[in-house]
Amino acid sequence: MSKKFGFIGAGNMAEALMKGLIEGQLTTKDELIASEVFAPRREYIKSKLAVDVTEDNKEVAKEAKVIILAVKPNVVATVLEELKPQLTAEHLIISIAAGVKIASIEAHLNEGVRVVRVMPNQPCLVSASASAFALGKYAKEEDKALVQKILEAVGIAYAMDEKQLDAVTGLSGSGPAYIYLVIEALSDGGVMAGLPRDVATALASQTVLGAAKTILETKMHPGQAKDMVTSPAGTTIEGMRILENSAVRGAFIDAVLAATERSKELGKN
């Protein structure tokens, strides 16, 4: 085996992870190989990242011991059955297929093949992912450490029990969409107040980024940070009154819980 990492599927998430591995110096482009059924996408990945690309999934299994499974959930079983003869206990399968449980993956593999299931999120594309992962029954401590390093090359990551990944899906998996809605709404408010659209969107986006960075770097409780901005009888408390009257806090909580339940339902299928 001449490659350090192999990717089955070379979509946006796979591209982001390959880029993170290279830029994080966890590997070189010469130590990567990816398979992709869509010819234009193969050509794009080859020109963009200068890694080896093939249309043959089996070639990836032959060349790399660590394989990132980055295909659509509905084709996972088919792909694994195709690869089963090539996969041994020397292989580590890292699945980023949303909703596909570890037991389902292991059921299509030979005894002893190590599996780690990952729930990344869309900001992986800009190296700002919030990810979580769970270990299969054959995965080792060194596999856990490796997956942690891979995911930290594109953001932050937490190891947890697989049963918690549905909650991760509801929070950080779906969460970017909630925040995009917030950014759009803040921008709309700015436009209504007289700001140009481009300026309003830039200010809204930077405000969200700055607030998130403040919490991550200072480790303050969000409520404490909110109180620092909220002066007595000032503008912010007036805005907060409107948000609380509109039950915005409860709506976000309900959104996370609803998405979590939907993830559980999809996992049963």
**Would you place residue 265 in the very low, low, confident or very high pLDDT band (cuts 50, 70, 90)?**
confident
How far apart CA 257 and CA 138 sit, in angstroms, is 31
Range list of β-strands (E), the chain: 3-8, 32-35, 52-54, 64-69, 92-95, 114-119, 129-135, 155-159
Question: Using one digit for the tens of pLDDT, what is the confidence trace for 204-228?
Answer: 999 999 999 999 999 999 999 999 9
Instruction: Determine contact, residues 129/120, Cβ cutoff 8 Å.
Output: yes
57 token code pair = 């999934």
Sheet of 52-54, strand order: 52-54, 32-35, 3-8, 64-69, 92-95, 114-119, 129-135, 155-159
Judged against a pLDDT cut of 70, whether residue 258 lies above it is answered with yes
Lowest mean pLDDT among 66-70, 99-103, 191-195: 99-103
Judged against a pLDDT cut of 80, whether residue 2 lies above it is answered with no
pLDDT value for 3: 85
Range list of β-strands (E), 82-200: 92-95, 114-119, 129-135, 155-159
The β-bridge relationship of strands 3-8 and 32-35 is parallel
**Would you place residue 1 in the very low, low, confident or very high pLDDT band (cuts 50, 70, 90)?**
low
Question: Using one digit for the tens of pLDDT, what is the confidence trace for 231-254?
Answer: 999 999 999 999 999 999 999 999
Question: Using one digit for the tens of pLDDT, what is the confidence trace for 3-54?
Answer: 899 999 999 999 999 999 999 899 999 999 999 999 999 999 999 999 999 9
> For the chain, how many residues are written?
269
CA Rg value for the chain: 21
